[in-house]
A and B are shown apart, each in its own frame.
Chain A
Amino acid sequence: QKEVEQNSGPLSVPEGAIASLNCTYSDRVSQSFFWYRQYSGKSPELIMSIYSNGDKEDGRFTAQLNKASQYVSLLIRDSQPSDSATYLCARESGGSNYKLTFGKGTLLTVNP
């Protein structure tokens, strides 16, 4: 089983809709989770980090974490064409070995 799994997509939503991106992970040790956005040919940039169960909101973005079910999701409200990108989910390995393991990413396309 892959450590961090994401649906590769593409996920296509109309402008103004809610985009829902999901990620599952395989271990119960991970404590910190991150969502990065990556435009084609560019470097990943951090959108959200989440460490506790529940929801965390930042503008149009909401991250949701459920450690018991081992999934983390990202909701993008009022999606814009500029949100079209690949979204990478990552989890920190925890303990004293602070490494991130990334999923393969989900390609989101927001259609005008």
Chain B
Amino acid sequence: DADVTQTPRNRITKTGKRIMLECSQTKGHDRMYWYRQDPGLGLRLIYYSFDVKDINKGEISDGYSVSRQAQAKFSLSLESAIPNQTALYFCATSDSSGGGKDTQYFGPGTRLTVL
């Protein structure tokens, strides 16, 4: 089984709909991240969480919210989806015990299309 899973893997929705993307991990890592990837723009950080009670905004958090339900689960919500949120979304995890050598491991991604 994959260490980092994301559901759904693909989603097509309409403008104005609320969408939740879920991420689960079995790596035992304390840190989790949500990125979006757009052609020509690379990976951009949306939100990150260093533990269940610590959630931080990334560089492009507007229009998104997150919930860290447990150490292993980190969900990303689009409260009212808009077409420019069409992108490939990745969840990632890392282990703080690395002492700053913070390798991130990525889930398989969710392809979201907002019509």
* Residues of chain A at the chain B interface (Cβ within 8 Å): 8, 31-32, 34, 41-46, 49, 51, 88, 92, 94, 98-105
Contacts and interface: CB of A to CB of B under 8 A. Distances in A.
A88 B100 contact: no
Interface residues of B, number: 24
Nearest to A34: B103
Contacts of A99: 33, 45, 48, 58
A45 to B, nearest CB: 7
Interface in B31-81: 31, 33, 40-45, 48, 50, 58
Contacts, number: 52
A43 B108 contact: yes
Interface of B: 31, 33, 40-45, 48, 50, 58, 90, 94, 96, 100-109
A49 B109 contact: no
A42 B109 contact: yes
A44 B43 contact: yes
